[in-house]
A and B are shown apart, each in its own frame.
Chain A
């Protein structure tokens, strides 16, 4: 597909993270990419955007598109600062949300905790209606009862209402009507029904999804409206699009209703950036490795596409709340720069998952932290420069790091401080390799065959060690790895995901009905794309079906060409399912009958992208280091003098051999002995990982 013409006007992206707000602006007229970074301003997030935009030296009035991702949605949920919400639910099922799936992952812990609902039981109200699994009403909706409930909710001053009626995925009439009546009774309240977010079976997961939407809805809506006001005040003439957890964009008008789609926008945009990078340099299969202060996250690009999943848990596996919508498939481990190293009473050395965070922070920050962390270990071993941390905005204290490592680890274990620091990094690398491997093993893929794309502030520093743990052979470090998510937003497309649960055996399924459902979803998606007002070059429709063998519970998502259903080719559909089952689960049963569980449609409106060329910041093909630093490597068992380069100094075609360090504003790339780096024509650092363990 040829790159379409870029229409006039800036494309401006803002990614609000926990610590920083990153701005990336692309000017199609000049091809220039401008970046800005400002501290996030939790009390009034739009200030951080304004500051970042100013630092990037661009103006909203020149922009045609504003692309935005934010932690507002997820923080509202995790910090429990959402609305006073009520849940309206089918009679007999008031407790679905609290009961959940009854599992107890932390099996020997008598002090385990269950998930905690966002809406308490006293605010859950039943309606005496009932839909059957076939989609026929067993007990019709009593509108008088709904109105009476509406008055009761009005008296309770609720700000938001979530509606979950059984089998609404099959027939949403009762939910739709209930919503309309409650909206009329509760003007100004945020009313949301489960079928608008998920038309997939599993009442607890759908309930948790719609409850989360209600809980975060009023806050997210007023946040988006605040940004809208700011844009208007800045005379922004273009379209305001928001990043979803799939990495796709949707219109702010829809984001104001379907707020849960925003939950994981930042991490998802990072994977989209990885996809853009992989496509630009011709890599089919890649895993992103995004390491920050407290966690390391990985997503997968397979066959040029970012892999998504149909549901995820917000807040961790053990106590998290499920959200049943399409999301980027991201695997996370609790290891980051702030991870604390400690010894336990029995003399074992542990790293993480406890983190020193930003406060008290690693010992070397000098902000009150006294326990040694991964960042302290990096400083002790000379891997980061004390005077150039975060682009020189912060000075680190090597003596404090040394003292913390000595008293916390080295002395109790009878080790040398340097040996202890190296050990801490090795343990951290192993732990992070599990995130990278985990995201692929679950799908039956071999991580060793993938390219590692390192991003986030700390990703490029640890990537080589992680790659060696897994046996990955190549690493790519993009330009500005600390701005990767914001840049990824510039590469995102409009995307609308739909799903309809529809149980039928493949051999007997009326395919004209299937075709009609796909057609409905597609039409809805095309209308949504058109409603954004953004200029799209093409609309791409993807179809898939969740399928399983008759008798199985778990289904797998199978991408299917539209022609297969149109042609009624059941044998080809079955064969495709057998193949996917074989890859994912290692076995298939071509002789066993299959059934359809859910039909999925993804409608993407392709937006023009920044071309994959580097601006002409220059850099030499034969760069010189600006200093030599003594860095410790386990391979050599000693400190060795390693050259240190400024990222801006190394240009396309340059090659460097490890050990070496490449520094840029928000990130440091470390080449281990045996690694070999080449800078490609787009300015990416391409690292061939040296053989041998650490």
Chain B
């Protein structure tokens, strides 16, 4: 903590803390209740927030966990661009993917907040527009084919809207009316943020509010330092890989991370992650920072609010340009969200020996979405639909099993769509929507289970999937087993085809009665599986999470195939024998 700051009243500080959280919550409510597209109000693909006059994050309301960095960097870039030329009544805009770090759909509006002529902060809103132009489907290999790029500019200058810009926007998007609806929703959100922040200043005084914000950030920093200090010093490394970039098929994309802990500081070094790729899985350098911060927040301040930049002052991120999470123009970025999630998981993997009680084993790490289009025979209308996000297994922890059927790290409070809704809306028939038994990694604590959706076409349709992490299965830690990875299968003429090199299926056409299956992976296990108590394995078998075969193979537990009853004596003998073998250096766990 900085000793030279004025002493702030702890009561006012707490009122300001609750105040900025409430303001960002209200901005969120105003955005979601006025937005036009369900990617905003159902998938919550947005972030709103308040920032200091220098662009530091004061409080952000999610939205997307992975967007923790995007808005602050965008505000800073706008400040650098305009310098002193930011005046009351301005609204600044950009969707520059190399600044936001994500894709062109993320339009970010920032409203400077002036108190009696002095710039005191920014109210900002990023939201995902369903269309920003560009090609409709298939792979992209540069940014130009992904849609309209808007450099940093003023949507509104001193209260006057830039009509030329609006005209360009309307001409370049496929659903201009809906886009304008979303634009208005974003303006509503930032206006309410500005108004409420000024109310806070009127209520407690400008100095008191700004000093309180500084104090909140100092407190967050102190908490982060204290919790980092509890991590043993050392250099920790781990690696993993992505299946491929969708262009160079079956060419793995390496992910290598190095985490250095020295006292109260942590460094995440991403120098050795893959260079940027040809397919659309790249993201900008902001996301290199974001994924490092997401991992860091999960470890040091997971439930602290407001989310603010004080929490990251003792984190250094090293990421040279030109990597998959620091891609340079004109790298394609449309599916930016998949790779960074695996980097987050790999950071946890690196730190597993140091803080086994604070990390998780690997998770399924993909949205697992099936994008569909076709003509609905009932209405003769062309439709675009998506199945998912599916959710999948999360990794086990040192003292807890992993969660099953939960959305991946990139997303947070995102919901799937009800089967009954999808079947009523589109010519689809779900044959199943179920957990995948045995998809979990075995371990003293086992991972969570993935999901299988089998969806039958009732009329001809086209499927696209962009799914990764087939080959780099969610890993176990501390001797825990790996889980089953993600996969896709197609059923044509009554025969399932499963032998794809990856889970990226572009423009696959299905006729009536044909089907596709989306399968999300499980979560990795933690600790040797032979250490899992017999009763816990018996419970898993009784519930059908683990089959009798897997119980025997992974845990040395013998169950009756029909009654599922465990033969305790036989199991104990086998487990003892396996343990002896393991101690002698044979493969543990079977």
Q: Which residues of A contact B15 (CB under 8 A)?
A: 426-427, 430
CB pair A586 B412 closer than 8 Å: no
Q: Which of B62, B223, B418, B431 has the most CB of A within 10 A?
A: B418
At the interface, yes or no: B511 with Cβ under 8 Å from chain A?
no
Chain B residues with CB below 8 A from A113, complex form: 403
In the complex the two chains form, is B420's CB within 8 Å of A201's CB?
yes
Q: Across the interface, name the chain A residue whose C-beta is closest to B378.
A: A134
B419 beta carbon closer than 8 Å to chain A: yes
Stretch at the interface among A345-353, A457-465, A607-615, A645-653: A345-353
Nearest chain-A residue to B34 (Cβ)?
A586
Smallest CB–CB gap between B21 and chain A, Å? Answer: 9
What residues of A have a CB within 8 angstroms of the CB of B545 in the complex? Answer: 121
8 A Cβ contacts from A576-609 to B: 584-587, 589, 592
Cα distance A121–B432 when bound, in Å?
Answer: 16
**B223 and A347 contacting across the interface, CB-CB below 8 Å:** no
Which residues of B lie under 8 Å from residue A620 when comparing CB positions? Answer: none
By beta carbon, the residue of chain B nearest A592 is B177
> Shortest beta-carbon distance, A590 to chain B, in Å?
12
CA A347 to CA B185, docked complex, whole Å: 38
In the complex, residue of chain A having the shortest beta-carbon distance to the beta carbon of B30: A586
Counting CB contacts under 8 A, is A305 at the interface?
no
Q: Which of B391, B405, B543 contacts A120 (CB 8 A)?
A: B543
User: Are A102 and B303 in touch, CB under 8 angstroms?
Assistant: no
Report whether B434 and A92 are in contact in the complex, using a CB–CB cutoff of 8 Å.
yes
Q: Given A102-B415, A201-B421, decide whether A94 and B434 contact each other with a Cβ distance below 8 A.
A: yes
Contacts of B33 in A (CB 8 A): 442, 444, 584-586
Q: Which of A103-111, A172-180, A221-229, A513-521 contacts B (4 or more CB under 8 A)?
A: A103-111
Q: Name the residue of chain A whose CB is nearest to the CB of B389.
A: A102
Interface size on A, residues (CB 8 A): 69
Q: Are A587 and B185 in contact (CB under 8 A)?
A: yes
Residue of A nearest to B348 (CB): A110
Of all chain A residues, the one with the shortest Cβ separation from B304 is A108
What chain B residues lie within 8 Å of A28 (beta carbons)? none
Q: Which residues of B contact A346 (CB under 8 A)?
A: 218-220, 222-223
Query: Does B262 sit at the interface, judged by CB under 8 A?
Result: no
CB of A78 closer than 8 Å to a CB of B: no
When the two chains form the complex, which single residue of A103, A110, A427 contacts B360, counting CB atoms closer than 8 Å? Answer: A110
How many CB-defined contacts (below 8 Å) exist between A and B?
197
Q: Residues 425-444 of chain B: 1 if any A CB is under 8 Å from the residue's CB, otherwise 0?
A: 10001111111000000000
Q: A112-B403, A584-B33, A587-B181 are in contact. Are A107 and B433 (CB under 8 A)?
A: no
How far is A93 from B435 in the complex, measured between Cα atoms in Å?
9
Interface string of A85-111 (1 = CB under 8 A from B): 000000011111011111111111111
- In the bound complex, residues from chain B placing their C-beta under 8 Å from that of A344 are 219, 223
Known A101-B415, A114-B403, A441-B29; contact A166-B11, beta-carbon cutoff 8 A = no
Among residues of A, the one whose C-beta sits closest to the C-beta of B433 is: A93
Cross-chain contact A203 with B11 (CB below 8 angstroms): no
Nearest residue (CB) in A for B22 is A434
| Residues of chain B with a CB closer than 8 A to A203's CB | 418-420
Q: Are B219 and A347 in contact, CB atoms less than 8 angstroms apart?
A: yes
Which of B101-109, B294-302, B527-535 lies at the interface?
B294-302
The answer, yes or no, to whether B19 is at the interface (CB within 8 Å) is: yes
Q: When the two chains form their complex, are residues B412 and A104 in contact, meaning their CB atoms are under 8 A apart?
A: yes
Q: A99-B435, A348-B13 are in contact. Are A104 and B423 (CB under 8 A)?
A: no
CA distance in complex: A133, B429 (Å):
9
Tell me if B411 is interfacial: C-beta within 8 Å of chain A. yes
Check if A132 sits within 8 Å of B65, measured CB to CB.
Answer: no
A104-B420 contact given A94-B434, A111-B400, A348-B14, CB 8 Å threshold:
no
- Contact flags A6-48 to B (C-beta < 8 A → 1, else 0): 0000000000000000000000000000000000000000000
Q: Which residues of A contact B425 (CB under 8 A)?
A: 503
A616 within 8 A of B: no
**Among A102, A169, A584: residue with most chain B CB under 10 A:** A102
Q: In the complex the two chains form, is B223's CB within 8 Å of A349's CB?
A: no
Closest approach, in angstroms, between the C-beta of B18 and any C-beta of chain A? Answer: 5
Given contacts A98-B404, A102-B389, contact A589 B177 (CB under 8 A): yes
Interface membership of A527, Cβ < 8 A = no
Q: Which residues of A contact B298 (CB under 8 A)?
A: 108-110
Residues on the B chain within 8 Å of A104, using CB: 406-407, 411-414
- For residue A625, CB closer than 8 A to chain B, the reply is no
Q: Beta-carbon contacts of A127-165 to B below 8 Å, as 1s and 0s?
A: 000001100001000000000000000000000000000
Across the interface, do B543 and A122 meet the contact criterion of CB distance under 8 Å?
yes
Query: A587 near B413 (CB under 8 angstroms)?
Result: no
Q: Which residues of B contact A585 (CB under 8 A)?
A: 33-34
A429 to chain B, nearest CB (A): 10
Question: Which B residues are in CB contact (< 8 Å) with A93?
Answer: 419, 430, 432-434
Complex contacts, B10 vs chain A, CB 8 Å: 343, 347-349, 413, 415, 423
Whether B576 sits at the interface, judged by CB under 8 Å, is no
Task: Assess A202 versus B389: contact at CB under 8 Å? Given A103-B407, A346-B223.
Answer: no
Give the docked Cα–Cα distance between A188 and B505 (Å).
53
Is A99 in contact with B405, judged by CB distance below 8 angstroms? yes
A92 and B406 within 8 A (CB): no
Note all chain B residues with C-beta closer than 8 A to A348.
Answer: 10, 13-14, 17, 216, 219
Bound form: Cα–Cα A378–B163 in Å:
57
Taking a contact as CB atoms under 8 Å apart, the answer to whether B14 and A349 are in contact is yes
Chain B neighbourhood of A574, CB < 8 A: none
Q: Does B233 lie at the interface of the complex (its beta carbon under 8 Å from any beta carbon of A)?
A: no
Question: Among the listed B14, B34, B417, which residue makes an inter-chain contact with A553, where contact means beta carbons less than 8 Å apart?
Answer: B417
Given the interface pairs A427-B15, A427-B18, the reply to whether A96 lies near B203 with Cβ below 8 Å is no
Cβ A552 vs Cβ B303 within 8 A: no
B230 to chain A, nearest CB (A): 12
Residues of chain B contacted by A132 (CB below 8 angstroms) = 423, 429
Enumerate chain B residues within 8 angstroms of A92, measured Cβ to Cβ.
430-434, 454
| A-side contacts of B22, CB under 8 Å | 434
Q: Which of A103, A202, A413 has the most CB of B within 10 A?
A: A103
- Nearest neighbor of A419 in chain B, beta-carbon distance: B11
- Smallest beta-carbon distance A87→chain B, Å: 13
Chain B residues with Cβ under 8 A from A426's Cβ? 11, 15
8 Å CB interface, A334-364 against B: 343-351
Given contacts A95-B434, A107-B413, A503-B424, contact A693 B181 (CB under 8 A): no
By a CB distance below 8 angstroms, the chain A residues around B358 are: 110
Asked whether A202 lies within 8 Å of B421 as measured between CB atoms, the reply is yes
Q: CB of B118 within 8 A of chain A? A: no
| A511-B434 Cα distance, complex, nearest whole Å | 38
Which B residues from 561 to 578 make CB contacts under 8 A with A? Answer: none
Q: Tell me if B188 counts as interface (CB < 8 A to partner A).
A: yes
At the interface, yes or no: B502 with Cβ under 8 Å from chain A?
no
* A423, B451: Cα distance in complex, Å: 49
Among A349, A503, A693, contact of B203 (Cβ-Cβ < 8 Å): A693
A431 at interface (Cβ–Cβ under 8 A)?
A: yes
Q: What sequence of 0s and 1s flags, for each residue 189-222 of chain A, a beta carbon within 8 Å of any chain B beta carbon?
A: 0000000000001111100000000000000000
- B26 at the binding interface (Cβ < 8 Å): yes
Q: Chain B: which residue is nearest A503 at the CB level?
A: B424
Tell me, yes or no, whether A167 is within 8 Å of chain B by CB: yes
Within 8 A of A (CB), among B350-391: 358-360, 389-391
B41 contacts A554, CB within 8 Å?
Answer: yes
25 A-B residue pairings within 8 Å (CB atoms): A95-B433, A96-B433, A98-B404, A98-B435, A100-B405, A101-B416, A102-B390, A107-B65, A108-B294, A110-B298, A111-B400, A114-B406, A166-B419, A167-B423, A202-B420, A203-B418, A344-B223, A351-B14, A423-B14, A427-B14, A431-B18, A441-B29, A553-B417, A587-B36, A587-B181
Q: Sorted from nearest, which 10 A-B pairs have the closest CB atoms?
A: A102-B391, A423-B11, A107-B412, A92-B432, A346-B219, A586-B34, A133-B423, A201-B420, A133-B424, A107-B65
Q: A92-B430, A103-B407, A132-B429 are in contact. List 20 more A-B contacts (CB 8 A).
A: A92-B434, A101-B415, A102-B407, A102-B415, A103-B406, A105-B413, A108-B294, A110-B298, A112-B403, A120-B543, A121-B545, A133-B423, A344-B223, A346-B223, A348-B216, A349-B13, A553-B38, A554-B38, A586-B185, A587-B34
